[in-house]
Amino acid sequence: MAHQQTELELQAAQMIPTADEVAGIFAVQTHDHKKSDAQYAHVMDNLGFGIDFTDYMAHATWTEPEGWHNKVIEPYGPLSLDPGSSVLHYGQEVFEGLKAYRHADGSIWTFRPSYNAVRLNYSSGRLAIPELPVDDFLASIVDLIRMDQRWVPEGEGTSLYLRPFIIASESFLGVRAASRYEYVVIASPSGPYFAHGFQPIDVWVDQKYHRAGPGGMGDAKTGGNYAASLLPKIEAHHHGFDEVMFLDAQTNSNVDELGGMNVFIVMADGSVKTPKLTGNILPGGTRSSIIQFLEDERIAVEEATINIDWLVDGLRSGEVKEVFACGTAAVVTAIGRIAGENFDITIPTGDMTRHVYDELTSIQLGKAEDRFGWLYKISE
Ligand SMILES: Cc1ncc(COP(=O)(O)O)c(C=O)c1O
């Protein structure tokens, strides 16, 4: 059955203002403490992932009854937080991740920023955090990148990674929703997420821990889900694996996702499957894009329950040919080995994984036609 657009996809597909229309909502506070030319050159010549940050950050505050106010682009630097701030105790926070790309002509673009804006609000809803107007989200991105333009790298696999987040900053002890929040966007010039580039990763299928459960926060992008994934990841590292594949908490037998990426499998007949959104899985923008462009290419994509025993049998019999993971940070990454308590299978990287990577990055970098209107121009 063809993909049914999700509520997030439908909302994200609505018309949004252009960058020029929202520019200036965040007032710029210029400063003289920018990184020196030598520091700048060092960062840009040695791009890691999420290690170095730019000269500016976006910041706004929410209080009752003012709502979101004090919208500024200010010098990048430490936040001043009272130790009683409730995010530090109860984890009331949400975040997003998106990238700005420099095209061959020097112009700067982002990819489906409205999807991130809408998903941030979805996550906020689950965490009892006030919504941020989509125009404010877009403006924070536009105004920040325009001040930090020099930090958008050029070259294959590079980008300016943007991390918008909201934290509860009211100082009190007691379990209730806060009455004050900070919205912040920081930016980090980045190379590939995995240091070894387009290399397959080894994945451990965890049957002991879960990152999320029914009625929990699995489909919200909030720190607690990632905190829950750290110990399993450390244990997987000890056994020589790069990432953890989590199974559903209810039956402990169906594939949910990796700690920070969605999963796809490719069948021998060329069709593709991905775990359906159950409420425990983050509805990835990359997942959504891949489903849409593959269907547009007449490749059958099924959102299904993927039983781990069925997957293992399929890999052994050859019915399943490829497994890959996807997300904004890591783009598209082949899974080259998948192992659990009683199986250990090596999977060759196949043509579909490479095709999906090429197709997605070609659209993002303006090398292929933007046939879904996903690119958003920040500056010439
Ligand atoms: C748990 C999890 N799943 C999937 C994804 C992929 O989402 P997206 O493609 O929107 O980056 C991410 C990354 O944001 C994630 O953290």
pLDDT, tens digit (0-9, with 9 covering 90-100), for 100-138: 999 999 999 999 999 999 999 999 999 999 999 999 999
323 has a pLDDT exceeding 70: yes
Backbone dihedral angles phi then psi of residue 220, each to the nearest 5 degrees? -105, 150
Which atom of ligand 1 lies closest to the CA of 116?
A: 10
Residues 112 and 118: beta-carbon distance below 8 Å:
no
| Atom 15 of ligand 1, residue of closest alpha carbon | 260
The answer to whether the CB of 275 is under 6 A from ligand 1 is no
Query: For a pocket test of ligand 1, which of 210, 258, 282, 331 has the largest count of ligand atoms closer than 8 A to its C-beta?
Result: 282
Separation of 193 CA from ligand 1 center, angstroms? Answer: 13
Q: CA 266, CA 184: separation in Å to the nearest integer?
A: 38
Which atom of ligand 1 lies closest to the CA of 328?
A: 11
Separation of 317 CA from ligand 1 center, angstroms? Answer: 30
297 has a pLDDT exceeding 80: yes
User: How large is the C-alpha radius of gyration of the chain?
Assistant: 21
| Atom 5 of ligand 1, residue of closest alpha carbon | 261
Binning pLDDT at 50, 70 and 90, where does residue 197 land?
low
140-144: average pLDDT:
98
Residues 333 and 324: beta-carbon distance below 8 Å:
yes
pLDDT of residue 281: 97
The answer to whether the CB of 261 is under 6 A from ligand 1 is yes
The answer to whether the CB of 260 is under 6 A from ligand 1 is yes
Separation of 83 CA from ligand 1 center, angstroms? Answer: 30
Q: CA 281, CA 274: separation in Å to the nearest integer?
A: 11
Residues 181 and 168: beta-carbon distance below 8 Å:
yes
Q: CA 376, CA 20: separation in Å to the nearest integer?
A: 11
Residues 6+ apart with CB under 8 A from 274: 262, 263, 264, 265, 287, 290, 291, 301, 302, 303, 304, 306
pLDDT of residue 31: 84
DSSP-based three-state secondary structure for 235: helix
The answer to whether the CB of 113 is under 6 A from ligand 1 is no
Residues 190 and 48: beta-carbon distance below 8 Å:
yes
> 39-65: per-residue pLDDT in tens?
999 999 999 999 999 999 999 999 999
185-194: average pLDDT:
88
The answer to whether the CB of 328 is under 6 A from ligand 1 is yes
The answer to whether the CB of 257 is under 6 A from ligand 1 is yes
| Atom 7 of ligand 1, residue of closest alpha carbon | 284
Which atom of ligand 1 lies closest to the CA of 262?
A: 4
Separation of 98 CA from ligand 1 center, angstroms? Answer: 10
> 30-40: per-residue pLDDT in tens?
888 899 999 99
- Tokens linked to 184: 């912040």
β-pair partners for 95: 165
| Atom 8 of ligand 1, residue of closest alpha carbon | 284
Binning pLDDT at 50, 70 and 90, where does residue 1 land?
low
Q: CA 298, CA 228: separation in Å to the nearest integer?
A: 38
Separation of 236 CA from ligand 1 center, angstroms? Answer: 20
For 143, the enclosing helix (H) or strand (E) is helix 134-147
The answer to whether the CB of 283 is under 6 A from ligand 1 is no
Separation of 218 CA from ligand 1 center, angstroms? Answer: 11
The answer to whether the CB of 192 is under 6 A from ligand 1 is no
pTM of the model: 0.97
Q: CA 40, CA 322: separation in Å to the nearest integer?
A: 40
Residues 6+ apart with CB under 8 A from 85: 167, 168, 169, 170, 171
Residues 178 and 215: beta-carbon distance below 8 Å:
no
Backbone dihedral angles phi then psi of residue 93, each to the nearest 5 degrees? -160, 155
The answer to whether the CB of 12 is under 6 A from ligand 1 is no
Which atom of ligand 1 lies closest to the CA of 259?
A: 1
Separation of 299 CA from ligand 1 center, angstroms? Answer: 23
Strands (E), the chain: 27-28, 56-63, 67-75, 93-95, 98-102, 108-111, 159-168, 180-190, 201-206, 243-247, 255-258, 262-267, 272-275, 301-304, 320-327, 331-340, 343-346, 375-379
| Reduced 3-state DSSP string for 46-112 | CCCCCCCCCCEEEEEEEECCCEEEEEEEEECCCCCCCCCECHHHHCCEEECCEEEEECCCCCEEEEC
Separation of 329 CA from ligand 1 center, angstroms? Answer: 8
23 has a pLDDT exceeding 70: yes
Separation of 82 CA from ligand 1 center, angstroms? Answer: 30
